[in-house]
Structure 1
């Protein structure tokens, strides 16, 4: 059983893309869920004058809260860390050490049984730094929660070296067909990151490509879990994940 869960999102939208279905299933089962947002999300459209950096940050945080509500979570479940988008620090830096301390405090306060975090080698520097910060925080807990890793950019950009190595992790495939509509509404709540974005004055700005979005229209989600000694890789159904 996953139990109370914290999802770690490097940017607003990662939570909906990578594990929105699982979050919706947890909410439906009345399992407490919280979200820690690592970056301020401002670098999606860095040259916008219509939405300067503070406005971009406020917009993206508002979108995230709306997405969480679409998944059935409380809008006030969010902890924003406001690290610089595109430059999330590693745990060896002073800023990273501060972020680790905030995560430790958050975990101690919420006492999650499970933490959801981006795949450690997901091919985006903020995702990799986020994984390192989470790992550093979990190492400071006397009884660390279960860690499940979700995929975002690995679907399109992973190099062979980014993929799981033999015996490194077990794969978990989750049936989210019953909550796929909620996941799609949550993704749609991140409207500034989708084609037709209201931030329309930055030609270099980022929006999710239709080919990328197609990966997250699937009725399944994939999670990776570090392999323990003598544990075989297996695929587990949603009923197995959400019940003892």
Structure 2
């Protein structure tokens, strides 16, 4: 059984403490699913928020012939912008455009160093005090690689921003080894997002290509968010991990 329901709850006012925030999403929709409530609360608290989209999002429906890869990328980037707008985020996002399902997770992989440099510059320009990033072992390879990209971007900073790690696929696919251990040096909490759940739902719905009936309908084997998966993100709280105080 997942331990998330036993985590302590923090009020939505916690968002006001985070300062300028950058959310890093592996795919278009992760920002809405994993932390859409917190993003809405940040903007309500008039905190600056900027966003990074890591992958091009094209592999959700790779067999579509009506929408070839460049068209799928354009649709998903437009959905990403619409979702951000519904959460009150109007800052132009950084689109890294890395290959969906093949996001590099180490310096030995092509594109890793360039992405790290872009991330570092973006975080510096936005004076990020907090970064929202997928949980380091969220069970999707692109999510884990995104965590590695962010950690590399923060490594060289003399005063790196704080990290809050959010979950997406851990709700459905977490194995025991995917969950935090004492060696991770983190603690989990639930954030009360009750008042902004409708706003979060609008952000999720903006990703029309990922919610039934979808847009790329000529690829019936493509990915759509299941009702069971979506139910996790209709709850009045979101789960985060933060570093323990040293």
**Residue 232 (structure 1) aligns with:** none
Answer with 124-133 or 220-229: which moved more: 220-229
Residue 78 of structure 1 is matched in structure 2 by 93
Alpha-carbon shift at residue 226 of structure 1 (Å): 1.9
SS of the counterpart of 1:225?
strand
Shift of 1:173: 1.2
Work out the CA distance in 2 between the residues paired with 1:22 and 1:164.
Answer: 21
C-alpha displacement at 1:70, in angstroms? 0.7
Give distance in 2, aligned partners of 1:175 and 1:158. 22
Q: Is 1:223 the counterpart of 2:240 in the alignment?
A: yes
* 1:30 shift after superposition: 1.0
The runs of 5 or more residues in structure 2 that have no matched partner are 1-16
Equivalent in the alignment of 1:194 = 211
Given that 1:6 and 1:36 are in contact with CA atoms closer than 8 Å, whether structure 2 keeps it comes out as yes
Aligned length: 228
Q: Deviations over 1:95-120 (max 9, x none)?
A: 10110011111111111100000000
Matches within 5 A, 1:135-150: 135-150=151-166
Give, in whole Å, the separation in 2 of the partners of 1:198 and 1:53. 14
> In structure 1, what is the equivalent of residue 105 of structure 2?
90
- TM-score normalised to the size of structure 2? 0.91
- 1:149 is displaced (CA, Å) by 0.1
Q: 1:102 aligns with which of 118, 124, 144?
A: 118
Moved over 6 A (4+): none
1:49 aligns with 2:89: no
User: Is 1:18 the equivalent of 2:44?
Assistant: no
Contact 1:33/1:77 (8 A) holds in 2: no
Contact 1:46 1:53 in 2 (8 A): yes
183, 186, 200: which one aligns with 2:200: 183
Aligned-partner SS, 2:111? helix
**Do residues 205 (structure 1) and 222 (structure 2) align?**
yes
Partner SS, residue 77 of structure 1 = coil
Deviation at 1:171, TM superposition (A): 1.2
Q: Which of 142, 145, 170 is 2:187 aligned to? A: 170
Alignment of 1:104-119 (within 5 A): 104-119=120-135
**Which digits, 9 at most, give the CA deviation of each residue in 1:63-99, with x for residues without a partner?**
011101111110x431100000000001312410110
Where 2:230 maps in the other structure, the secondary structure is: helix
Counterparts of 1:227 and 1:30, CA distance in 2: 27
Q: Distance in 2 between matches of 1:58 and 1:94?
A: 23
Q: For 2:19, what is the secondary structure of its paired residue?
A: coil
Aligned to 2:146: 130
The answer as to whether partners of 1:91 and 1:100 remain within 8 angstroms in 2 is no
SS in 1 for 2:148: helix
Aligned residue in 1 for 2:78: 62
Normalising by structure 1, we get a TM-score of 0.92
Matching residue within 16, 40, 43 for 1:27 = 43
Aligned to 2:8: none
RMSD: 0.9
